Structure 1
Amino acid sequence: MNKVAQMLKKVGAAFGAGCASIFRAFPRGAKGVKLASALMLLLLLGLGGLGWYWSREPLAFDVRASPALFKSTQGRNVVTGSVTTATLIQVGETLLDKPGGYLSNDRTPPSIFLDNMPNWEFGVLVQVRDLTRSLRNDLSRSRTQSLENPSLAAAEPLFNYDNNSWVLPASESQYREALSHLHTYIQGLSQQQNPDTQFYARADNLRDYLTIVEKRLGGLSQRLSASVGPTRVNIDLAGDPNAGQSTRPAVTRGHKTPWLELDDVFYEARGSTWALIHFLKAIEVDFADVLEDKNAKALLQQIILELEATQQPVWSPMILNGNGFGFFANHSLVMASYISRANAALIDMRALLTDG
Structure 2
Amino acid sequence: MKGQLQNKILDMRERLQDWWTDGGVVRSAVLLGLVVYLLVCIVLGFLWSSEPDMFPVRERAMQRAEAMGVEPVVGFTTTATLMEVTAALLNKQGGYLSNDVFPPGLWLDNIPNWEYGVLIQVRDFTRALRKDFSRSQSQSTEDKDLSVAEPQLHFDNNSWAVPSSEAEYERGLKALDNYLHRLADPKEPTAQFYARADNLRQWLFDVETRLGSLSQRLSASVGKRRLNTDLAGDSAASQSTPADYDQEVKTPWTQLDDVFYEARGTAWALSHILRAIEVDFRDVLDKKNALVSLRQIIRELEATQEPLWAPMILNGSGFGLFANHSLVMASYISRANAAILDLRELLSQG
TM-score, length-scaled by structure 1: 0.88
- Shift in Å at residue 65 of structure 1? 1.8
Q: Contact 1:69/1:86 (CA < 8 Å) preserved in 2?
A: no
Q: Contact 2:315/2:325 (CA < 8 Å) preserved in 1?
A: yes
Unaligned runs of at least 5 residues, structure 1:
1-21
CA distance change for structure 1 residues 179 and 330 in 2, over 3 Å: closer, same or farther?
Answer: same
Whichever of the two has the greater Rg, that structure is 2
Aligned residue identity for 1:317: P
Partner of 1:59: 53
- Shift in Å at residue 255 of structure 1? 2.2
How many pairs are equivalent?
331
| Cα deviations by residue, 1:103-150 (Å, 9 ceiling, x for unpaired) | 000111111000101010000000000000000000000011111101
Partner of 1:10: none
Counterpart Cα distance in 2 of 1:61 and 1:282? 12
Q: Is 2:276 aligned against 1:295?
A: no
Q: Is 2:108 aligned against 1:114?
A: yes
Q: What are the within-5 Å matches in structure 2 for residues 218-297 of structure 1?
A: 218-297=212-291
Q: Is 2:309 aligned against 1:315?
A: yes
| Cα deviations by residue, 1:219-241 (Å, 9 ceiling, x for unpaired) | 11011111111111111111111
Q: What are the within-5 Å matches in structure 2 for residues 1-356 of structure 1?
A: 26=24, 41-66=35-60, 70=64, 74-355=68-349
What is the aligned-residue RMSD (CA, Å)?
2.1
Partner of 2:16: none
Aligned residue identity for 1:107: V
SS in 1 for 2:221: helix
Q: Contact 1:47/1:110 (CA < 8 Å) preserved in 2?
A: yes
Aligned residue identity for 1:185: Y
Aligned residue identity for 2:298: I
Q: Contact 1:214/1:347 (CA < 8 Å) preserved in 2?
A: yes
TM-score, length-scaled by structure 2: 0.90
- Shift in Å at residue 47 of structure 1? 1.3
Counterpart Cα distance in 2 of 1:39 and 1:68? 48
| Cα deviations by residue, 1:144-201 (Å, 9 ceiling, x for unpaired) | 1111101001110111110000011100010000000000001111212211110000
Counterpart Cα distance in 1 of 2:340 and 2:227? 24
Q: Contact 2:65/2:71 (CA < 8 Å) preserved in 1?
A: no
Q: Contact 1:306/1:341 (CA < 8 Å) preserved in 2?
A: yes
| Cα deviations by residue, 1:290-335 (Å, 9 ceiling, x for unpaired) | 0000000001000000001100111000001001100111100100
